[in-house]
């Protein structure tokens, strides 16, 4: 596509009234927003006029989603949260001059925020878009570029309860009661389905690693006090404390949810503030503050943008609490020159007083003044660094030669290396009597572990050098191990399903136990995290007896929705079992390729369906919480009604997603009943009925919650979809049972 084509698309899709034919609403897409200024002033002015005229009395915008269907403007009966966000973003992007219009629109969003920090879903159809919360946070964490309403840019990722919106020029932004919640981008509500109709991935909880470096490595009482502050923070798991006497520095490693790690880092900083005095500090490692550096690192189900948000919230709260200067570095840097940590830390503590006087070194947060006992802190976001060494029976020089070939820096600007985001050098490990190509993998998703290993093996082979295993120093994310396993499974055409087996495969392929045992529960971050928080007390972790007793207890949850999800998981498990009872047997050897294709979908479905056991109960709890909201005034009654409607839509979304997920298994079921071990025919018959029962249960749960939803369009669409899913399940079950009866 030629470079200007996207702009031409925007230009030609604009209608005479300033709207766009593609959507017929003022809710502009990202492409349209970015294209305005590059098109023409005429279309920009038309957009301003269109958006301002269509504004409702309360200051919001209420164009209905029927606008998309009918290709004309259709007005809702009240302002819509998502369209208000989009309209405000559009007006800000074209530099709309009237700040009062922007302020009034933002006030609508603040007034409509629910007590739990969330926003009501309204008429937003989750199968098409993100939730309302995402759009609110997308707006409220960006910079409007309007003088009277300038908000600090943090990230386009949502914040959570506890991170107050902080303003710099408007009382509206400085209200102390304005708070964000964990917006449901992808993990809170399985009812939010992607374009393909499947739930967003929710295989595990969000996990962020925080690695604060404190300038004290000699006083045990100080080191222990900081460690204790982290350990006592709810939701934080302290994994490692690494003090250095010569560096006079201690590196702490802990993990937790985004909210928890921010609180853990703040607790540690508050403790250190009273115990570390930088005026008397000395050590070999570069440093500029008591809490010298504090990076936030995505580990599991967390984006880099969310870690940037962690960084901003931490930096702002740290500067507010301790009144100290904080710089942002890495992915959180606002200024390119501050992306590099050595650049931020240049001059170290001793030069900080003069550095803070320079305009170009004004802190991102906090005062440009030296606090002698503290210094300054660098807070940032970066990807997980994996320290990975490959063992060679060679000289140090030969190992270094290979390191120069593979590392990104290579031998200099004129001779770059092969692997991006890889640092490397060669050394001799005296205690093991072998050489190593020692690497830091700065981005394991760009350059995976196996890529480094295989490239070293190729270079070593060219030099006739033996590779004798490798070594991961420190911790490693589970994803890095599983990505490596997937590579070898695909390359060698292996059939490995279980996570435990995949990890064992990687240990074997890379020789990770060559210099000592590689114990997954001690080396893989996710395996080290104790499931001790309340959030981790999941229904699926209960024994069968406990689960059944919980269902039978005098409580609303777990109920039919959770039971339906569990029945679905058992149906998928039976399908998987039949495949396993067929695969690898001599008499069915000709069917091995078929089973290799049919078993994985069942295995994957088991894990996804089990997640819905808890998801259903959590979704219903939103509605139950709304019922308990106060209703002593008209305003409270309105808020309660909005929250109830939002809760009902969530309660509908989970079982609808369950039915969608189950029905994806029918093609595999129809094949499995034809080719699976005939001795297991009855198991497949039970599996089919279990899956049908699960869809029926999902249907009934959708219908009972749907009747109280006031959005008639949503009700009609959802009812039609649920009925179609139920019919598909019944017809597919009949087909499977009929095929089973014909097998002898």
| Domain annotation covers residue 295 | yes
pLDDT at residue 695, rounded to an integer: 97
Clarify whether residues 101 and 222 are in a common domain.
no
pLDDT at residue 607, rounded to an integer: 87
Q: How far is CA 33 from the centre of its chain?
A: 25
Highest mean pLDDT among 165-174, 191-200, 316-325: 316-325
Range of the domain at 413: 386-528
pLDDT at residue 67, rounded to an integer: 63
Clarify whether residues 411 and 367 are in a common domain.
no
pLDDT at residue 323, rounded to an integer: 95
Clarify whether residues 578 and 711 are in a common domain.
yes
| Domain annotation covers residue 244 | yes
CATH code for position 98:
1.50.10.20
More confident residue, 455 or 204: 455
Domain count, the chain: 4
Clarify whether residues 233 and 318 are in a common domain.
yes
Clarify whether residues 471 and 496 are in a common domain.
yes
Clarify whether residues 61 and 130 are in a common domain.
yes
Which of 477, 509, 528 is the last residue in one of the domains? Answer: 528
Rounded CA separation 493/490 (Å)? 5
Does residue 210 carry a pLDDT above 50? yes
Cβ burial 458-480 (10 Å sphere, 16+ → b, else e): ebbeeeebebbbbbbeebbbbbb
pLDDT at residue 572, rounded to an integer: 96
Give the range among 96-100, 517-521, 560-564 with minimum mean pLDDT: 96-100
pLDDT at residue 244, rounded to an integer: 83
Does residue 641 carry a pLDDT above 60? yes
Clarify whether residues 664 and 690 are in a common domain.
yes
Which of 463, 494, 528 is the last residue in one of the domains? Answer: 528
Does residue 107 carry a pLDDT above 60? yes
Q: Environment class of residue 252 by beta-carbon count within 10 Å: exposed (0-12), middle (13-18) or buried (19+)?
A: buried
Average pLDDT rounded to a whole number, residues 702-711: 88
pLDDT at residue 651, rounded to an integer: 85
Q: Mean pLDDT of all residues in the chain?
A: 80
| Domain annotation covers residue 201 | no
Clarify whether residues 60 and 117 are in a common domain.
yes
Clarify whether residues 225 and 86 are in a common domain.
no
- Strand pairing of 291-300 and 326-330? unpaired
pLDDT at residue 642, rounded to an integer: 87
pLDDT at residue 624, rounded to an integer: 82
pLDDT at residue 298, rounded to an integer: 92
Average pLDDT rounded to a whole number, residues 143-149: 35
Could you report the per-residue pLDDT of 551-585, keeping only the tens digit for each? 898 888 888 999 999 999 999 999 999 999 999 99
CATH code for position 439:
3.30.70.670
CATH code for position 547:
1.20.120.680
CATH code for position 337:
3.30.990.10
| Domain annotation covers residue 200 | no
> Bridge partners of 289?
375
Could you report the per-residue pLDDT of 15-47, keeping only the tens digit for each? 444 444 444 344 444 334 434 444 444 444 555
pLDDT at residue 454, rounded to an integer: 97
| Domain annotation covers residue 174 | no
Does residue 197 carry a pLDDT above 60? no
**Residue 90: how many CB atoms within 10 A of its CB?**
22
With a pLDDT cut of 70, the percent of the chain lying above it is 76
Clarify whether residues 521 and 543 are in a common domain.
no
Q: How far is CA 300 from the centre of its chain?
A: 7
> Bridge partners of 86?
none
With a pLDDT cut of 90, the percent of the chain lying above it is 50
| Domain annotation covers residue 199 | no
Could you report the per-residue pLDDT of 261-277, keeping only the tens digit for each? 999 999 999 999 999 99
The question of whether 616 is a catalytic residue gets the answer yes
Rounded CA separation 697/544 (Å)? 20
Does residue 406 carry a pLDDT above 80? yes
Give the range among 240-249, 273-282, 313-322, 719-728 with minimum mean pLDDT: 240-249
Rounded CA separation 494/261 (Å)? 39
Could you report the per-residue pLDDT of 351-375, keeping only the tens digit for each? 999 999 999 999 999 999 999 999 9
Distances (CA, A) of 32 to 91, 196, 431, 586: 12, 24, 61, 60
Q: Is the peptide bond before 400 cis (omega within 30 degrees of 0)?
A: no
pLDDT band for position 123 (50/70/90)?
Answer: very low
Q: Which of 9, 11, 285, 443 is catalytic?
A: 285
Which of 130, 149, 168 is the last residue in one of the domains? Answer: 149
Q: Environment class of residue 490 by beta-carbon count within 10 Å: exposed (0-12), middle (13-18) or buried (19+)?
A: exposed
Measuring CA to CA, which residue among 620, 613, 616, 615 is closest to residue 570? Answer: 613
Q: Which of 614, 616, 646, 683 is catalytic?
A: 616
Clarify whether residues 277 and 331 are in a common domain.
yes
Could you report the per-residue pLDDT of 389-400, keeping only the tens digit for each? 999 999 999 999
| Domain annotation covers residue 542 | yes
Give the range among 135-144, 575-584, 603-612 with minimum mean pLDDT: 135-144
pLDDT at residue 229, rounded to an integer: 96
The question of whether 242 is a catalytic residue gets the answer no
| Domain annotation covers residue 171 | no
Clarify whether residues 344 and 438 are in a common domain.
no
């Amino acid at each position: 596509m030629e470079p200007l084509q996207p702009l031409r698309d925007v230009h030609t899709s604009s209608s005479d009234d300033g709207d766009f034919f593609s959507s017929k609403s003022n809710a502009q897409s990202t492409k349209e927003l970015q294209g305005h200024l590059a098109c023409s002033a005429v279309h920009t002015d038309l957009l301003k006029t269109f958006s301002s005229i269509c504004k409702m009395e309360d200051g919001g915008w209420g164009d209905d989603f029927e606008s998309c269907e009918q290709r004309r403007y259709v007005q809702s009966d009240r302002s819509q949260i998502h369209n208000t966000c989009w309209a405000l973003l559009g007006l800000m992007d074209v530099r709309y001059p009237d700040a009062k219009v922007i302020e009034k629109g933002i006030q609508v969003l603040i007034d409509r925020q629910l007590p739990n920090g969330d926003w009501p879903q309204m008429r937003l159809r989750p199968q098409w878009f993100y939730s309302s919360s995402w759009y609110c946070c997308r707006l409220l964490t960006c910079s409007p570029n309007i003088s009277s309403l300038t908000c600090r840019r943090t990230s386009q990722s949502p914040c959570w309860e506890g991170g107050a919106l902080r303003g710099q020029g408007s009382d509206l932004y400085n209200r102390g009661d304005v708070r964000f919640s964990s917006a449901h981008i992808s993990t809170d509500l399985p009812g939010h389905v992607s374009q393909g109709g499947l739930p967003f991935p929710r295989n595990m909880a969000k996990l962020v690693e925080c690695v604060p470096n404190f300038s004290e490595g000699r006083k045990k009482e100080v080191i222990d006090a900081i460690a204790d502050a982290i350990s006592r923070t709810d939701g934080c798991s302290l994994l490692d404390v690494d003090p250095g006497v010569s560096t006079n520095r201690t590196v702490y490693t802990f993990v937790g949810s985004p909210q928890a790690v921010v609180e853990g880092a703040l607790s540690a900083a508050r403790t250190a503030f009273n115990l570390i005095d930088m005026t008397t500090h000395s050590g070999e490692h570069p440093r500029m503050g008591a809490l010298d550096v504090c990076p936030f690192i995505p580990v599991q189900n967390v984006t880099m943008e969310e870690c940037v948000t962690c960084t901003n919230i931490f930096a702002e709260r740290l500067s507010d609490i301790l009144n100290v200067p904080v710089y942002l570095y890495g992915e959180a840097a606002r200024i390119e020159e501050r992306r590099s940590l050595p650049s931020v830390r240049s001059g170290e503590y001793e030069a900080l007083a003069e550095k803070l006087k320079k305009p170009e070194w004004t802190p991102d947060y906090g005062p440009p003044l030296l606090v002698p006992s503290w210094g300054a802190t660098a807070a940032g976001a970066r990807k997980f660094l994996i320290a990975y060494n490959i063992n060679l029976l060679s000289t140090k020089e030969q190992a270094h030669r290979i390191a120069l070939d593979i590392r990104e820096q290579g031998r200099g600007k004129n001779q770059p290396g092969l692997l991006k985001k890889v640092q490397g050098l060669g050394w001799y490990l005296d205690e093991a009597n072998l050489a190593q190509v020692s690497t830091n993998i700065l981005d394991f998703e760009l350059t995976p572990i196996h890529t480094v290993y295989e490239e070293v093996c190729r270079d070593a082979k060219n030099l006739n050098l033996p590779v004798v295993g490798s070594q991961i120093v420190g911790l490693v994310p589970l994803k890095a191990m599983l990505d490596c396993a997937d590579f070898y499974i695909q390359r060698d055409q292996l059939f490995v399903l279980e996570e435990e087996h995949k990890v064992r495969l990687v240990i074997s392929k890379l020789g990770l136990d060559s210099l000592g045992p590689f114990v997954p529960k001690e080396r893989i971050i996710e395996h080290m995290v104790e499931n001790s928080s309340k959030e981790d007390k999941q229904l699926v972790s209960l024994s069968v007896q406990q689960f059944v007793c919980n269902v039978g207890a005098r409580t609303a949850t777990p109920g039919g929705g959770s039971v339906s999800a569990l029945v679905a998981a058992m149906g998928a498990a039976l399908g998987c079992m039949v495949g396993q009872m067929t695969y690898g047997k001599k008499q069915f050897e000709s069917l091995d390729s078929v089973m290799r294709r049919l078993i994985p979908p069942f295995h994957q479905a088991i894990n996804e369906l089990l997640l819905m056991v808890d998801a259903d109960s959590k979704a219903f709890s939103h509605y139950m919480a709304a019922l308990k909201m106060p209703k002593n005034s008209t305003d409270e009654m309105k808020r309660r009604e909005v929250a109830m409607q939002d809760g009902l839509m969530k309660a509908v979304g989970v079982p609808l997603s369950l039915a969608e997920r189950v029905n994806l298994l029918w093609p595999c079921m129809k094949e499995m009943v034809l080719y699976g071990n005939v001795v297991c025919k009855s198991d497949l018959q039970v599996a089919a009925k279990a899956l049908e029962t699960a869809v029926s249960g999902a249907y009934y749960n959708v219908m009972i919650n749907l009747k109280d939803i006031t959005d008639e369009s949503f009700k009609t669409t959802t009812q039609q979809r649920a009925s179609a899913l139920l019919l598909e399940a019944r017809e597919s079950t009949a087909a499977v049972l009929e095929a089973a009866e014909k097998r002898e």
